[in-house]
Amino acid sequence: MLLIFGPTSDNRGTTIGGTTLLCDQMIQYITNNKIKDTIYIKTNKFDNKLFNLTSILLSLLIKISRSKVVVVNASDNLMLFFCPLAYMCAKIFRKKIIIRTFGANFDTFYNNLSSLNKLLIKKTVLRSDIIFSETNHQIASFYKKHIPVTTSIQWFPNCRRDPKMTKSNKMNKELKLMFLGAICQEKGVDDLIELNRRLDNKIVDFYGYTQDNKYLKDKNFNYKGPLDPKKVLETMSGYDFLVLPTTWHGEGYPGVIIEAFSIGLPVIATNFRAIPDLVKDNYNGFLVEQNNIDNLILIITALRDERAFYATMCSQSKITFKSSYDSDVLHKVFFETIEKLG
């Protein structure tokens, strides 16, 4: 039996984070493909963290003897408070254990731990049979330096299901750029507002949540409001590029970029942390230097004048998605790996 721990979305009105969304995709894959002998234990059943930890520990103790492999879809909190216990239980009962991590800031999380907690993680979690990491950036910069040779480190990126749609490969008569995400300086919003100002044209439309009057009062902040998740791809299809000049410290593989690629929408993003794993300069988009508005303007100006490459770039964006970020393909590999292990 395969015992899986992870969050799921619910009807309590709570915000669905990236980890929960990806775990929902795993549950959907299990259901759609009728994967037998699998039990999924919800790790966010209660609002109270102590209740959650107690609940999943009891489930682990009750069910582990009948399991062959334990899988933990681990947020940072689970990594510290649950995964070490799950590892020890797995070793006591002679079971295999797999840890799947999310995002690209586990190195920061680990480095901020006390010496004792670092030792705990090092002696347990980092000795799991397999660790799946979301980004190659984390694999190279952190895991390969900290795991023993007995631990297999594998890539399991942020992903989406194939929407079975592709946007037009023709640019709009007037170049249209779209920002979608948290409206804040760390995501590059200030640079994009300055881009609108310098070009004397509201070339960038902004979608997302904000209550910051600094932005709402700016005439160059062409704000379209929050976007219904069900309308994201349809809205994206009307634009020429998604633009995300982010410098957020925990940036991994932004889901919004993968969603753009899923319909063949090229991306302009920052040459920062794990972003170059996704966006290949002059292939499926363009990379700009951090906090460099002149570099951004140079690229946008060139795009207005040169359009012949655009259809190819759209096609290559879709190819990027199909080859590396299709949820069904990645989950197939994931469960085949577990089957071989068990």
- Residues above pLDDT 90, as percent of the chain: 85
Q: What is the pLDDT of residues 141-161, one digit of tens each?
A: 999 999 999 999 999 999 999
- The per-residue DSSP string of 193-246 comes to HHHHHHTTS--EEEES----HHHHT-TT--B-----GGGHHHHHTT-SEEEE--
Nearest to residue 152, comparing CAs of 136, 176, 171, 128? 128
The one-letter amino acid at 116: L
The one-letter amino acid at 177: L
Q: Residues 6 or more apart from 50 whose CB is under 8 A from it? A: none
**Whole-number pLDDT of residue 13:** 45
Residue with the two structure tokens 């508005």: 293
Q: Give the bridge partners for 179, in sequence order.
A: 206
Compute, in degrees rounded to 10, the torsion defined by CA atoms 98, 321, 205, 249.
30
All structural domains of the chain: 2-159+326-341 (3.40.50.2000), 177-324 (3.40.50.2000)
Question: Is 15's pLDDT higher than 70?
Answer: no
- Mean pLDDT across the stretch 5-15? 72
The reported pTM is 0.92
Question: Is 234's pLDDT higher than 60?
Answer: yes
Tokens at residue 92, please?
């006591």
Q: Is the dihedral of CA 315, 317, 320, 323 positive or negative?
A: negative
Question: Is 11's pLDDT higher than 60?
Answer: no
Q: What is the pLDDT of residues 265-300, one digit of tens each?
A: 999 999 999 999 999 999 999 999 999 999 999 999
Q: How far apart are CA 256 and CA 240, in angstroms?
A: 15
The CA angle 292-278-79, to the nearest 5 degrees, is: 105
Phi, psi of 328 (to 5 degrees): -65, -40
Residue with the two structure tokens 């995964």: 83
- Mean pLDDT across the stretch 314-334? 97
Cα within 13 Å of Cα(85), Cβ side: 14
Burial of 189 (0-12, 13-18, 19+ CB in 10 A): buried
